[in-house]
Structure 1
Amino acid sequence: MNKLTIQQLQEGYRRDAFTIEEVIDQTLALAEEYEEYNIWIRLLKKSEIMAYVQQLEKCSLKDKPLWGIPFAIKDNIDLAGIPTTAACPEFSYIPKKSAQVVQQLIDAGAIPIGKTNLDQFATGLVGARSPHGATKNALNPELISGGSSSGSAVAVALGQVCFSLGTDTAGSGRVPAALNNIIGYKAALGSYSTEGVVPACESLDCVSVFANTMEDICLIDQQVSENGSNSNEEVPHKIFLPDKLEFFGPYAKLYEMAWKQTAAYFKEKAVVEIIDMTEIQQVARSLYEGPFVVERDVAIGSFADVQPEAIVAPLQTILTQARQIAYSANQLFEAQHFCQRVEKTLKKKLAGNILLLPTCTGTWQIEQVLADPIFTNSQMGLYTNHCNLLDLSALAVPAPVDTALPFGITLFTVPEDEPLLKSYGAEIEKEAQKTELVVCGLHMRGFPLEKELLARGGEFHYETRTSDDYRLYALDTEPRKPGIIKNENQGEEIEVEVWKLPNQELSSFIQTIPHPLGIGKIRLENGEEKLGFVCQNLPEEEMEDITQYGSWRNYQLGVQL
């Protein structure tokens, strides 16, 4: 899956490796290839797109920071002359001008490609509440894409555009990022203009951004942010982790395992404190289980009354529930005052720090959501709903650990600490772009070839042992080096080191490894499998069994176990 980045396209433009028109052709071809994924509601025609390209002919990359960069727009955000439907064809209108954020991006040289699918009226976190069909997950089409900004996220994840606009009221700019292994950024309330955005809960709505790199997120943020915050080299004083979590769905055990790995990673990397989630979760529940839900009815209730058949069933249920419970003014103020008290306490804790939560603690297959649309959707927002009610900024990124399913985390800060949010997100991104490598011989610390790893940006990670089904041999080579060979019946645990090597260096490093050594899977004592040095079987006269030493280091020192 080839993911596009702004830097990648801009470098190609500078070298004349391709033209904007060729990029547009490729984008449209990919959109056609993945038509069954239900990503687009209104894909622009090539002639419509080229009209924007023509506006760039008198400009250059120096003039326009987003020159020639294709992007997608969630179809509850206006693009001049193109219908806005919010995934409700009967609601459709044609705006005379673009939403302010869209115009800011076009002015910076970006090229709109079309309007993307969403949970109708941006109400949902599953991506399956649209008359245009459920948007399929970019990594596994049987799974939900997440919502409500489903099409915007999947368009980025499948490499159709460099970035996209979504909206975020309860997590719509974060959940799809986590489920499609991309980045989702939601700045503080009011940082991005919502002029030209169809409201869902107008007091809480935010425009959000999806992209593949933090560098792209920061560049886009600079074009549209009202606050103009920039990334710097700050690191948080402390990371707050939750005291307890609820995992759900058919993949709950995999998500719980991924979170345990993630929590262990940050406990090793940073100063960590456990935070009581009770009040934060009470705020999260109040978004749909209290008077705030009435704002959904305020946004679209009048339209729903006139054309009820145009509203998808799950949304109709939400609107009905909002009216059935006659919330009083007292209940509204009580809920607001509770949120304000929690916000004040939490923001005091978070100053200079970060709250880190799993973006979601499970996922579903599309058919499971269609069978039970209300409950399945509610679970997706367990750790996202609180964000805007507490006026926090949020960044959703892939977790920096290897996981069986796409697993994302969200970093929360106070609005004043958005530079910290972005800089720490960039640090996590760097770690995620490294591969763990198990070494057992001359590349270990203190041995002659350690310098090869260091020269490629490698970092020692930790010492450990293999599982008890390996044997260690001294090879008859020059210089002498060890080889580790799997032997399930007569193996022992072997001491090894785990290093981290930047992904871009891994391929060229592997090419330097001489026969009979190679790279394969090594099982560690904790059951995890990682890439590492393995050895082919050689004739007995060409290798000496030194398993009794337990490690190459002990063998060099003459110390048997």
Structure 2
Amino acid sequence: MKAVRDIGQPAFITVLDEPPASVPDGPLAGIPFAVKDNIDIAGVPTTAACPDLTAPATETAFAVRRLQARGAVPVGKTNMDQFATGLVGTRSPYGACHSAFSPEHVSGGSSSGSAIAVALGAVPFALGTDTAGSGRVPAAFNGLVGVKPTRGLVSTRGVLPACPSLDCVTTLTRTVGDARPVLDALIAYDADDPYSRPMPALLPPGVARQMRVVAVPDGPLELDPEHQEAWTAALTHAAKIAHVVPVNVEPFLAAARLLYESAFVAERFAAFGHLLGDGADPAVRRIVLGAERFSGADAFRGLHELARLRLVAELAFTGVDALLLPVTPGHPTLAEVATDPIGANSRLGVFTNMANLLDLCAVAVPAGLRPDGLPFGVQLLAPAFADAPLLDLAARWNGEPAGPPAGRALLAVAGAHLTGQPANADLVRLGGVLHSRARTGPGHRMYTVDGPFPRPGLVRTGDGPAAGLELEVWDLPHDAIGALLPTIAEPLHLGPLTLDDGSTVLGFVADSACADPTRDITSHGSWRAYLRAVRDPLTAV
């Protein structure tokens, strides 16, 4: 790994002090990573590539803290298009980045420094953001994997906003396999982030656990000649890993145009317009201040048009799992961007701007080299919360091993199905294995409920202990879930259950009608502790 100070490009705005002597144990223990400089690290200014912003952050961003808790070590804050407004990597007073493959071609942005830090070997992974393609474009221009999760799955608390309703924290890595443990750490519900959303326990209707049908544009795209040749090869590769079907992509492209050509750009003005002082990049200033021409009525017209396009786009996913598109229509040079900074940048977003507007998850993956030797990247897009199967599809595209075995599910148990309890044998008989020991998220209470044997019911009342209640998470074949259903006596049933790490799994829960104060055993902290309190400690499990 190269030293962060010695990679030959202005990839870093701030290099952090020496890492701590010891780090927490975890799957990322000791792994260095870079952080885009619109994401807070306590004690370090979050400049967003604007020298006017010099006040140190008072708290580390939620996403960075999640990684640190798994043992990862931040080593620097990276360069970027100012205020995350740009897809070129040149809108920074700290210097323009260029592609790791060519000093004449742009690096892509706005997560330019993060991409360069990974591409040149300074760090194994880096955090970026992707509101309109800011993670996927630099990934494509530097031969990397750029993962843009479903909006809200990764908290943006501690991120200087560009468009708060659309912003996403993203990852840049060399492989899908490198991204998996990072995403496992990042994806968690944050109750203090108004845009945070928990991952559903089950995939949404219509989303397949294994993606085998990929949609591609039903007509030609306006690509530069070098890009067109690489895109043709990518379509051939797609047909080898999936069944390919043509779809009309115009609704997606129309939604992409809304982001900067309608009143949606006013969200950027609302988010950081007050920060556009003397240090503002002229192109950024022109784009953001241009939002003043839109009215409140224009904003609603944009929302109505987006609703129409979203409905049409949703229909495009009927019968298909994912959509394949190039990341960009071309790869401009630094000189071309300098000649036309607005136009060259706008063209780079024609295939990426719509992802968050349409509530899609996306993964940018390398797709070989263009005839001139520059990397070419494509993106796979799917409906919200299809992140896990989409990541598996991206791995298959790259020829990497698949993720966890398909056809299995996690089930949280807190009572009779715990290890050593009367119904645990049912889980083992059905092929279940203990996945982990965990606790509920805050807000749950536990009550005794009627049934064929003593058992508790978990009810989300909102006032349960912040530390949660003890439970186990079991890994089961999917058909085992169906086999369990007839054995579940009322008032218990299976439903989504939020765990203490913010993830959501299927679990045994009870209706609010079971919240009888006379049967409340929450104070014991667990079913086993309750049994010990009411039985002989020598015989209670």
TM-aligned CA deviation for residue 96 of structure 1: 1.6
TM-aligned CA deviation for residue 275 of structure 1: 1.3
Letter paired with 2:305: F
Aligned residue number for residue 233 of structure 2: 261
- 2:314 corresponds to 1:347: yes
- 2:56 corresponds to 1:87: no
Asked if the contact 1:125/1:377 (under 8 Å) is kept, the reply is yes
- 2:397 corresponds to 1:428: yes
Q: TM-score, normalised by structure 2?
A: 0.68
Aligned residue number for residue 300 of structure 2: 333
Asked if the contact 2:362/2:380 (under 8 Å) is kept, the reply is yes
Secondary structure of 1:141 counterpart:
coil
The 5 A counterparts of 1:68-467 are 68-226=30-188, 227=198, 234-247=209-222, 252-304=224-276, 307=277, 309-323=278-292, 325=293, 327-350=294-317, 353-399=321-367, 404-430=373-399
Distance (Å, rounded) in 1 between the aligned partners of 2:209 and 2:151:
22
> Higher helix fraction: Structure 1 or Structure 2?
1
Q: TM-score, normalised by structure 1?
A: 0.66
| Cα 1:83/1:431, change in 2 over 3 Å | closer
Distance (Å, rounded) in 2 between the aligned partners of 1:302 and 1:114:
27
Distance (Å, rounded) in 1 between the aligned partners of 2:171 and 2:46:
19
TM-aligned CA deviation for residue 345 of structure 1: 3.4
CA RMSD of aligned residues (A): 2.2
| Cα 1:82/1:229, change in 2 over 3 Å | farther
Aligned residue number for residue 43 of structure 1: 15
Question: What is the CA deviation profile of residues 494-542 of structure 1, one whole-angstrom value per residue up to 9, with x for unaligned ones?
Answer: xxxxxxxxxxxxxxxxxxxxxxxxxxxxxxxxxxxxxxxxxxxxxxxxx
Distance (Å, rounded) in 2 between the aligned partners of 1:283 and 1:245:
18
TM-aligned CA deviation for residue 346 of structure 1: 2.4
Aligned residue number for residue 513 of structure 1: none
Letter paired with 2:387: E
| Cα 1:228/1:65, change in 2 over 3 Å | farther
Secondary structure of 1:42 counterpart:
strand
- Over the matched positions of the two proteins, sequence identity in percent amounts to 40
Asked if the contact 2:109/2:134 (under 8 Å) is kept, the reply is yes
Distance (Å, rounded) in 1 between the aligned partners of 2:102 and 2:200:
36
Asked if the contact 1:143/1:365 (under 8 Å) is kept, the reply is yes
TM-aligned CA deviation for residue 49 of structure 1: 2.6
Secondary structure of 1:91 counterpart:
coil
Distance (Å, rounded) in 2 between the aligned partners of 1:32 and 1:236:
42
Asked if the contact 1:70/1:113 (under 8 Å) is kept, the reply is yes
Number of paired residues?
386
Distance (Å, rounded) in 1 between the aligned partners of 2:28 and 2:295:
48
Secondary structure of 1:257 counterpart:
helix
Question: What is the CA deviation profile of residues 383-441 of structure 1, one whole-angstrom value per residue up to 9, with x for unaligned ones?
Answer: 00011100100000001677532000000011232111011111111179xxxxxxxxx
TM-aligned CA deviation for residue 129 of structure 1: 0.3
Secondary structure of 1:410 counterpart:
strand
Asked if the contact 1:247/1:255 (under 8 Å) is kept, the reply is no
Aligned residue number for residue 34 of structure 1: 7
Distance (Å, rounded) in 1 between the aligned partners of 2:368 and 2:214:
15
Aligned residue number for residue 481 of structure 1: none
Distance (Å, rounded) in 2 between the aligned partners of 1:41 and 1:375:
27
TM-aligned CA deviation for residue 202 of structure 1: 1.1
Aligned residue number for residue 19 of structure 1: none
| Cα 1:233/1:189, change in 2 over 3 Å | closer
TM-aligned CA deviation for residue 233 of structure 1: 10
Distance (Å, rounded) in 2 between the aligned partners of 1:354 and 1:382:
18
Letter paired with 1:205: D
Distance (Å, rounded) in 1 between the aligned partners of 2:134 and 2:250:
23
| Cα 1:373/1:271, change in 2 over 3 Å | same
Distance (Å, rounded) in 2 between the aligned partners of 1:158 and 1:375:
29
Structure 1 residue runs of 5 or longer lacking an equivalent are 1-25, 433-561
Secondary structure of 1:32 counterpart:
coil
Asked if the contact 1:222/1:228 (under 8 Å) is kept, the reply is no
| Cα 1:263/1:405, change in 2 over 3 Å | same
Aligned residue number for residue 426 of structure 2: none
TM-aligned CA deviation for residue 350 of structure 1: 2.3
